[in-house]
């Protein structure tokens, strides 16, 4: 159950708030539609619910605020936007990655793929998906954690009628399982067709909170839906008789709208009047039903991967379609496709209800058999919180696409090429030759590649709407940050030493072993090289997470050697009255537990690295970025 109380978005300069004192409920076992025109504040209201945007008010999920929910992805399934993930990732790989974030078994990915009809497309790249497949996959990500609540933003927008019918059937099946469904829509007919409760907003304010039946009576006109091969002739007859009746008896106006082909919509009339008119003029009628709003297509698309559905769940196309629809104002029947004029009984006497019969616009409509969905359920005793969940997620995220591997390979190739050119020309110091770092470049290729890998770790994070509920939970986000820092650190150090050994091996093979001679302080050089690569990778990671942009993460990496280092270099160049000489010995003497004597050399090496302008610059940059990120997390700002 969702309870939104007084939601109000943060005020902006010279603008009214997008959401202003909005209060409503979305109860379990029901579909609640948040209805409004484009720009009415529907998406802003959802983002306030999920604490993705700053604002005031209270949002409770089964009586608890989002930051008190232990596992948000198991409580709330979210679909925001059309992009479900990285375009180079497969559907199964994408869902397995998110299953690690949700703390559910990886096999859950195959279960939800079966539910949304994408099992046959599990290995297809997301970039090749159509809009309908993209929406199905987005719904699959929302179902991964077996949530109690679904929050969907315009899920049927720009979908085909058949995909829309499938989606509505899925949502109804989910609500029938006891889940709470909250969707946004800008189409009143769609709201009347699928909703149990309709919450109408305008300019961020609540306009009406109504049951679906009341909404249909007050907002939508009843109509008679007619299908006939002689639709134009029937429309002319209905219009002529309506004009005559209005002139003689003062009857209300009747409006006849040709929907195209053989379909008509008659407003202000009834099934009895339309059927009698068709009978008097000898016009064949295939379908005659009273509706409120739009009843939707009759033959929804069941699967998107081309596989056949279970024949036991789908009625035969040759089954008798005669059905009685319980509609207000009278009873109408879907006439069989046989030459029986409207108003006469079916000679076969068949009265078996069709699976396609439904009451248009009525709340809580049962799911037709062709839309019936069996949602897989997880075991009720879910595993306890595990620190390995975010680490497993980050490993699958980093290794699931080729982007990171391509960046690492390009960095190694560039480092090797520059190192060979520097050794061939001569004159460059040995450390710069081994690391492939000419004086013209602010950073060596391997370090720049590590920074790019770090920036990509958070730059792509915000493409996954299934992680949206976790954005409002501070411990989860900090746990995910720790996992990203650990994985990025391992990747950066491996890249640093791989480039160094690769360059050394190539130089020794091409120019001889005398070119690759280790300096006396080789340990300090290796430690400094690893620290530089690791620091730049973390700088890119933290900056991308803080600014939600890969490009700004790279800017932060390049700012260290081009801006921060020169400033600190000028400061450190000033003569100092005192130095840190002898600090390791003083630390050793002051320590309660005496460390081994070999650690003095390590502390001295670390101090030597920190005394360099690059070391100071990296330390200050990382401290500032980490502090800003943690502060933004605890202040509840969207990341």
**Helical segments of 516-560, H only:** 522-547, 550-559
Neighbours of 1 (CB within 10 A): 15
Q: Is residue 471 very low, low, confident or very high in pLDDT (cuts 50, 70, 90)?
A: low
CB atoms within 10 A of CB 378: 14
Q: Which residues on adjacent β-strands are paired with residue 324? A: 333
Worst-scoring range by mean pLDDT, 184-193, 275-284, 464-473? Answer: 464-473
- Candidates 103, 75, 78, 143; CA nearest to 466 is 78
pLDDT band at 509 (very low <50, low <70, confident <90, very high): confident
Residue 48 placed within a domain: yes
**Among the listed residues 3, 472, 466, the one whose alpha carbon sits nearest the alpha carbon of residue 199:** 3
CATH code of the domain containing 238: 3.30.70
Total structural domains within the chain = 3
Q: Are residues 184 and 270 in the same domain?
A: no
Q: From residue 390, how far is each of 51, 476, 497 by CA, in Å?
A: 21, 8, 26
CB 361 within 8 A of CB 293: yes
Residue 308 predicted with pLDDT over 70: no
Of the two residues 565 and 479, the one the predictor is more confident about is: 479
- Same structural domain for residues 111 and 98? yes
| Rounded distance between C-alpha atoms, residue 442 and residue 348, angstroms | 87
Query: What pLDDT does residue 398 have?
Result: 86
Does 382 map to a domain? Answer: no
The maximal CA–CA distance of the chain, rounded, in angstroms, is: 113
Please report the pLDDT score of residue 567 as a whole number: 67
pLDDT of residue 440: 83
The verdict on 393 and 538 lying in the same domain is yes
pTM of the model: 0.70
62-76, 197-211, 339-353, 546-560: least confident range:
339-353
Write out the residue range of the structural domain in which residue 244 sits: 221-292+320-354
Return the closest-CA partner of residue 493 out of 526, 460, 517: 526
Q: What is the DSSP letter of 384?
A: P
Nearest to 164, CA basis, from 263, 357, 297, 315 = 297
Interval 402-426 mean pLDDT: 90
Question: Which ranges of 12-65 does DSSP label H, i.e. alpha helix?
Answer: 42-49
What pLDDT is attached to residue 197? Answer: 93
Mean pLDDT across the stretch 571-600?
Answer: 54
Q: Residue 431, SS3?
A: helix
Residue 538 lies in a domain: yes
Q: Which of 570, 600, 35 is nearest to 293 (CA)?
A: 35
What integer pLDDT is reported at residue 82 of this predicted model? Answer: 64
Q: Specify whether 444 is located in the same domain as 344.
A: no
For residue range 200-238, what is the model confidence (pLDDT) as tens digits?
Answer: 999 889 988 989 888 877 777 778 889 999 999 999 998
CA dist 317 → 298, 312, 355, 524, 560 (Å): 11, 13, 11, 78, 68
Instruction: Indicate whether 432 and 334 sit together in one domain.
Output: no
Does a structural domain hold residue 446?
A: yes
- The average pLDDT across 608-613 equals 53
Are residue 400 and residue 264 in the same domain, yes or no? Answer: no
Q: Give tens-digit pLDDT for 13-42.
A: 777 888 989 999 999 999 999 999 888 889
Residue 609 lies in a domain: yes
Confidence of residue 578 (pLDDT cuts 50, 70, 90): low
Query: What per-residue confidence (pLDDT) applies to 34?
Result: 94
Percentage, residues of the chain above pLDDT 70:
70
Lowest mean pLDDT among 185-194, 198-207, 222-231, 386-395: 386-395
Choosing from 310, 338, 354, the residue where a domain stops is 354
What is the C-alpha to C-alpha distance for residues 547 and 629, in angstroms, rounded to an integer?
9
Question: Domain boundary residue among 165, 189, 218?
Answer: 218
- Domain at 94, CATH number: 3.40.50.300
Q: What is the DSSP string of 277-324?
A: HHHHTT---SEEEEEES----SS----SSSPPPPTTTS--TTS----E
Please check whether residue 490 lies inside any domain of the structure: yes
Residues ≥6 apart with Cβ < 8 Å to 486: 391, 394
**587 within domain boundaries:** yes
Region 187-206: what's the mean pLDDT? 90
**pLDDT tens-place string over residues 144-175:** 888 889 999 998 888 888 888 888 989 998 99
DSSP string computed for 61-92? ETTEEGGG-S-HHHHEEEE-SS--S-TTSBHH
Average pLDDT over residues 290-319: 53
pLDDT band for position 402 (50/70/90)? confident
pLDDT at 119 exceeding the cut of 80? yes
Average pLDDT, the chain: 76
Is 547 found in the same domain as 521? yes
pLDDT at 268 over 90: no
Q: What's phi and psi for 96, nearest 5 deg? A: -65, -35
Q: Tell me if 373 is assigned to some domain.
A: no
Q: Which residue has the higher pLDDT, 596 or 551?
A: 551
């Amino acid at each position: 159950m969702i309870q939104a109380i007084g939601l109000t978005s943060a005020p902006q300069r010279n603008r009214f708030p997008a959401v202003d004192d909005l209060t409503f409920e979305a109860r379990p076992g029901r579909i609640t539609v948040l209805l409004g025109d484009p720009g009415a504040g529907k998406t802003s209201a959802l983002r306030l619910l999920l604490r993705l945007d700053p604002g005031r008010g209270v949002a409770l999920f089964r009586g608890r605020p989002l930051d008190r929910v232990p596992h948000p992805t198991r409580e709330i399934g979210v679909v925001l936007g059309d992009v479900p993930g990285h375009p180079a990732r497969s559907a199964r790989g994408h869902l397995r990655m998110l299953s690690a974030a949700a703390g559910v078994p990886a096999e859950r990915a195959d279960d939800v793929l079966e539910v949304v009809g994408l099992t046959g497309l599990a290995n297809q790249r997301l970039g090749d998906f159509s809009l309908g497949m993209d929406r199905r996959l987005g719904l699959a990500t929302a179902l991964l954690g077996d949530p109690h609540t679904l929050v969907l933003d315009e899920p049927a927008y720009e979908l085909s009628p058949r995909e829309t019918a499938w989606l509505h059937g899925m949502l109804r099946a989910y609500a029938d399982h006891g889940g709470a469904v909250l969707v946004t829509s800008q189409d009143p007919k769609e709201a009347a067709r699928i909703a149990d409760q309709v919450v109408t907003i305008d300019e961020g304010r609540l306009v009406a909170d109504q049951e679906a039946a009341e909404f249909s009576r007050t907002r939508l006109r009843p109509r008679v839906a007619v299908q006939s091969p002689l639709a134009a002739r029937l429309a002319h007859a209905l219009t002529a008789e309506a004009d005559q009746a209005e002139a003689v008896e003062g009857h209300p106006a009747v409006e006849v709208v040709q929907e195209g082909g053989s379909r008509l919509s008659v407003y202000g009339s009834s099934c009895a009047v339309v059927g009698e008119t068709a009978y008097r003029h000898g016009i064949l009628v295939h379908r005659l039903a009273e509706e409120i709003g739009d009843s939707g297509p009759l033959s929804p698309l069941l699967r998107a991967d081309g596989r056949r559905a279970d024949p036991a769940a789908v009625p035969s196309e040759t089954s008798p379609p005669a059905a009685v629809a319980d509609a207000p104002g009278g009873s109408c029947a879907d006439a069989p496709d046989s030459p029986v004029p409207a108003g006469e009984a079916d000679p076969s006497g068949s009265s078996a209800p069709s699976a396609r019969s439904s009451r248009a616009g009525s709340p809580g409509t049962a799911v037709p058999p062709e839309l019936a969905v069996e949602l897989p359920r997880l075991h009720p005793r879910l595993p306890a919180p595990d620190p390995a969940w975010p680490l497993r997620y980050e490993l699958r995220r980093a290794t699931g696409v080729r982007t990171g591997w391509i960046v690492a390979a390009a960095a190694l190739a560039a480092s090797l090429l520059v190192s060979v050119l520097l050794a061939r020309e001569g004159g460059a110091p040995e450390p710069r030759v081994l690391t492939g770092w000419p004086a013209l470049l602010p950073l060596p290729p391997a370090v720049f590649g590590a920074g790019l890998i770090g920036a990509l770790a958070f730059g792509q994070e915000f493409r996954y709407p299934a992680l949206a509920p976790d954005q409002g939970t501070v411990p989860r986000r900090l746990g995910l940050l720790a996992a990203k820092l650990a994985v990025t650190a391992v990747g950066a150090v491996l890249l640093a030493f791989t480039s160094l050994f690769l360059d050394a091996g190539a130089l020794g093979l091409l120019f001889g072993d005398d070119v690759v001679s280790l300096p006396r302080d080789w340990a300090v050089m290796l430690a400094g090289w690893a620290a530089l690569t690791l620091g730049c990778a973390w700088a890119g990671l933290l900056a991308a997470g803080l600014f939600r942009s890969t490009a700004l993460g790279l800017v932060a990496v390049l700012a260290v050697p081009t801006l921060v280092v020169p400033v600190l270099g000028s400061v450190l160049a000033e003569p100092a009255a005192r130095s840190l000489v002898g600090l390791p010995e003083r630390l050793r003497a002051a320590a309660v537990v005496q460390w081994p004597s070999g650690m003095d050399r390590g502390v001295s090496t670390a101090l030597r690295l920190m005394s360099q302008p690059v070391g100071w610059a990296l330390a200050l940059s990382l401290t500032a970025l980490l502090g800003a990120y943690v502060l933004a997390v605890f202040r509840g700002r969207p990341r």
